[in-house]
A = this chain, B = another copy of it.
Amino acid sequence: MSRLASLPRTLFANRVSRLSFAGKERNRVRRDRTMAFSPSAESLPSPSWKNDKSAAALVRGLREAVESCNDVTEEDLSSNKFIDLLVSGSHVGHVRPDFAEALVKHGKLEAADGYALFSKSEKGVVCFDSENRYASSEEKTRVVAEVFEKMRELSLIPGWRSEMFPVVSDEGDVCMNVERASASLLGIKAFGVHVNGYVNSNSSGNSESKVLLWVGTRSKDKQTFPGMLDHLSAGGLPAGMAPTICAVKELAEEAGVPEKYSEENVKSVSCVSYRMFYKECVKRDVLFCYDLELGESFVPKPVDGEVESFELLPLERVCEIIAFEPGRFKPNCVLVIIDFAIRKGIVTCDMPGFPELVKALRR
């Protein structure tokens, strides 16, 4: 049978009402569906969402999961809740007014002419090095570090990590590096690396191969998102490290994948981003997405205790969990997995709401 036989008749059938994320149809679908989590690969689907209405409900559920990572609106950013942060004229972040005041107060040099490292412009934005006296990123990094060290001692920058993150402009240029703990206080972009570890399986018996995704369950002792579902591996990208090298390192540390195997097989494929409130600051994350195909015999091992177990789930089932069992997955994994499901042809162009979902993955 050709694949087309199971396609929805039309992309745009009878959808006149405004898309409502908590709409009636979704509630209906929730009731109709067995919501118990069934983590074995056997328990799976002839997905009931392969018709117009349930495909719409699936996409709506996926979209809602994406939106839950994007509670910061354009209005929030242009309101007086946040002040734009510029470095030598380039926009890099959003700071709370009280933190802006602290930057201006403590960002004063001992120089004879009293040049202020951080200053407030007439337009009310906070500028670092407004006169561009520190031409290189190294110089900027050094003088900012002095200011931040002082602010750390005054407990104005809590949770010190002793790890450097790059400060990147909206156009993608690296201005300087700063202590990781200041990233969300500055509202700068922070970069991470996520790996979809997957298996192409023919075990289902029919001619079409199934994509199975390795899903971890986070340790119940983790401070962040304990017990939630997670990727094969993921981690923050420190300043100066290439994303692919970071991906290989994390795969070894978190899932026991041999470095040589990852080096030869991990593949750069995409990028997603989101913008959410975190302790009243703006957390802006950019996640580099990688795919790693694994053999059916390979079983990942939790190495560093971040994850307590791994399970192999059909990608359709993973999409159902994201769409219809909100709160199961660590929130930001959702964007990377939806992007994967789109590239693998599981969430398709024929589904209503598809283009809006694709766009929503990048803020």
User: Which residue numbers of A lie inside 8 Å of B, CB to CB?
Assistant: 2-4, 7-19, 89-90, 135-137, 166, 168-175, 191, 193, 237, 239-245, 248, 260, 263-264, 267-271, 273, 286, 288-290, 342-343, 345, 348-350, 352-356, 358-359, 362
User: Once the chains bind, are A271 and B240 in contact (CB under 8 Å)?
Assistant: no
Chain B residue nearest to A11 (CB atoms) is B242
In angstroms, Cα B3 to Cα A356, docked, is 35
User: Once the chains bind, are B16 and A175 in contact (CB under 8 Å)?
Assistant: yes
Question: Inside 8 A of A263's CB, which chain B residues have their CB?
Answer: 2-4
CB distance from A5 to the nearest CB of B (A): 9
User: Once the chains bind, are B172 and A137 in contact (CB under 8 Å)?
Assistant: no
User: Once the chains bind, are B359 and A273 in contact (CB under 8 Å)?
Assistant: yes
Question: Inside 8 A of A191's CB, which chain B residues have their CB?
Answer: 355
User: Once the chains bind, are A355 and B273 in contact (CB under 8 Å)?
Assistant: yes
Indicate which residue in B2, B137, B171 contacts A19 across the interface (CB closer than 8 Å): B171
In angstroms, Cα B241 to Cα A15, docked, is 14
Chain B residue nearest to A263 (CB atoms) is B2
Report, nearest first, the 6 A-B pairs whose CB atoms are least far apart. Answer: A268-B348, A288-B349, A12-B174, A172-B356, A243-B349, A271-B358
In angstroms, Cα B354 to Cα A286, docked, is 11
Question: Inside 8 A of A290's CB, which chain B residues have their CB?
Answer: 349
Chain B residue nearest to A350 (CB atoms) is B242
In angstroms, Cα B7 to Cα A269, docked, is 15
Chain B residue nearest to A136 (CB atoms) is B16
15 A-B residue pairs with Cβ-Cβ distance under 8 Å, sorted by A, are A2-B260, A3-B264, A8-B242, A10-B240, A15-B174, A16-B136, A18-B90, A18-B169, A18-B171, A172-B355, A244-B349, A244-B350, A270-B342, A286-B355, A290-B349
Residue among A14, A16, A89, A263 with the highest chain B CB neighbour number at 10 A:
A16
Q: A135-B16, A244-B348, A343-B343 are in contact. Are A354 and B10 (CB under 8 A)?
A: no
Residue among A14, A135, A171, A290 with the highest chain B CB neighbour number at 10 A:
A171
User: Once the chains bind, are B270 and A343 in contact (CB under 8 Å)?
Assistant: yes
In angstroms, Cα B171 to Cα A243, docked, is 33
Question: Inside 8 A of A3's CB, which chain B residues have their CB?
Answer: 244, 263-264
Chain B residue nearest to A9 (CB atoms) is B242
CB distance from A92 to the nearest CB of B (A): 12
In angstroms, Cα B147 to Cα A213, docked, is 52
Question: Inside 8 A of A17's CB, which chain B residues have their CB?
Answer: 173
Question: Inside 8 A of A350's CB, which chain B residues have their CB?
Answer: 242-244, 268
Question: Inside 8 A of A260's CB, which chain B residues have their CB?
Answer: 2
User: Once the chains bind, are A271 and B18 in contact (CB under 8 Å)?
Assistant: no
Q: A171-B356, A263-B2 are in contact. Are A12 and B239 (CB under 8 A)?
A: yes
Question: Inside 8 A of A267's CB, which chain B residues have their CB?
Answer: 345
Question: Inside 8 A of A19's CB, which chain B residues have their CB?
Answer: 169, 171-173
CB distance from A319 to the nearest CB of B (A): 14
Question: Inside 8 A of A264's CB, which chain B residues have their CB?
Answer: 2-3
In angstroms, Cα B196 to Cα A104, docked, is 52
User: Once the chains bind, are B172 and A271 in contact (CB under 8 Å)?
Assistant: no
Known pairs A2-B260, A16-B137, A18-B171 / 10 extra A-B pairs, C-beta < 8 Å: A3-B263, A7-B245, A11-B242, A172-B353, A242-B350, A243-B349, A268-B349, A269-B342, A269-B343, A271-B359
Question: Inside 8 A of A345's CB, which chain B residues have their CB?
Answer: 267-269
In angstroms, Cα B356 to Cα A241, docked, is 18
CB distance from A228 to the nearest CB of B (A): 25
